[in-house]
Amino acid sequence: MSETHTFRLDGDEVPFAEGQTVIQAALSAGRYIPHLCYHPEFKPHGSCKVCTVKADGRAAASCTLPARAGMAVESDTEEMNDLRRTLVQMLFAEGNHFCPSCEKSGNCMLQALGYDLGVMTAGFRHFFPDRPVDASHPDLLLDFNRCILCELCVRASCEVDEKCVFALSGRGLDKHLVVNAVSGRLADTDVALGDKAVEVCPVGVILKKRVGFAQPIGARRYDARPISAQALDDAPRPGNHRSGCGACEEGAK
């Protein structure tokens, strides 16, 4: 067994094992830190910065910040939550997110995080980019309008499915999700309904055909419980291991 240490999160002691990051330790201890691109089955890379905290007075992404004994971490403060609201507003502004008509409404992490943080205004002028929809695949629809560049589908497709169907192309405002096929069409790849890449999208980019709105809005995942509660339910920790969770399996070794 690894030796357990503690750090302070918003004034409370949080235990952690050697090698854990701040967000891993917090979620394991039942303490929620808002996040979007972090997923327990993949090595964190800090792309969205929504999980930013202050550690010993310095801002850092908690998904990539190694926990250290005695460190003082601030997360649930007005300053940090203001920053997160701004980041969420920017993500909404950079894409085309029309929640009332979106099939992912109620199951969307971006929408749920906006509710949880109390985002009430647009905050920024929306770009309304011209993005395509790819309906070429017989079982899947790609709506690039909602992509937040979290890279989860990219990593899942390469690391779990071993197909590398998706990739990111471009830089800055031109950065966008692409399909790894000469034609650029999803139909010309070997992606399948059961792939991990199909399941990990936190928004409404990758959608299964012929099941739209089968579950009514109002009775969906984040309609029933806020994202902060759902994240704690799903967090890998002793007594709450999830089947197929790489973080759980690694910790059990």
Q: Does some domain include residue 239?
A: no
Kindly state the tokens that stand for 237: 């920790």
For 51-92, what is each residue's pLDDT tens digit? 999 999 999 999 999 999 999 999 999 999 999 999 999 999
Give the pLDDT band of residue 126 (cuts 50, 70, 90).
very high
Q: Does some domain include residue 246?
A: no
Beta strands in the chain (DSSP E): 4-9, 12-17, 52-55, 58-61, 72-74, 133-134, 140-143, 166-169, 176-179, 206-208
Find where tokens 């992404």 sit. Answer: 61
Q: Does some domain include residue 249?
A: no
Find where tokens 């999208």 sit. Answer: 201
Q: Which range of residues forms the domain containing residue 113? A: 96-224
Q: What per-residue confidence (pLDDT) applies to 237?
A: 67
Q: Does some domain include residue 182?
A: yes
Kindly state the tokens that stand for 224: 């029933």
Q: Mean pLDDT in the chain?
A: 91
Residues 105 and 151 in one domain: yes
For 197-253, what is each residue's pLDDT tens digit? 999 999 999 999 999 999 999 999 999 999 999 999 988 866 544 433 443 333 333
CA distance 228 to 197: 23
Indicate whether 172 pLDDT > 90. no
Residues 71 and 178 in one domain: no
Q: What per-residue confidence (pLDDT) applies to 241?
A: 44
Residues 102 and 220 in one domain: yes
What's the average model confidence in pLDDT over 127-146? 96
Q: Does some domain include residue 237?
A: no
Whole-Å CA distances, 79 to 2, 53, 114, 154: 34, 10, 16, 32
What's the average model confidence in pLDDT over 107-117? 97
What's the average model confidence in pLDDT over 30-39? 96
Domain boundary among the residues 43, 76, 109 is at 76
**Other C-beta atoms lying within 10 Å of the C-beta of residue 86:** 14
What's the average model confidence in pLDDT over 113-141? 95
Report the DSSP beta bridge partners of residue 60. 53
Beta strands in 4-145 (DSSP E): 4-9, 12-17, 52-55, 58-61, 72-74, 133-134, 140-143
Q: Does some domain include residue 245?
A: no
User: How many domains does one find in the chain?
Assistant: 2
Q: What per-residue confidence (pLDDT) applies to 251?
A: 36
Q: What per-residue confidence (pLDDT) applies to 253?
A: 32
What's the average model confidence in pLDDT over 173-198? 96
Q: Does some domain include residue 111?
A: yes
Residues 72 and 105 in one domain: no
Q: What per-residue confidence (pLDDT) applies to 77?
A: 98
Q: What per-residue confidence (pLDDT) applies to 173?
A: 83
CA distance 43 to 8: 24
Q: What 8-state DSSP symbol labels residue 216? A: P
**Other C-beta atoms lying within 10 Å of the C-beta of residue 57:** 7
Q: Does some domain include residue 146?
A: yes
**Verdict on whether the full-model pTM lies above 0.75:** yes
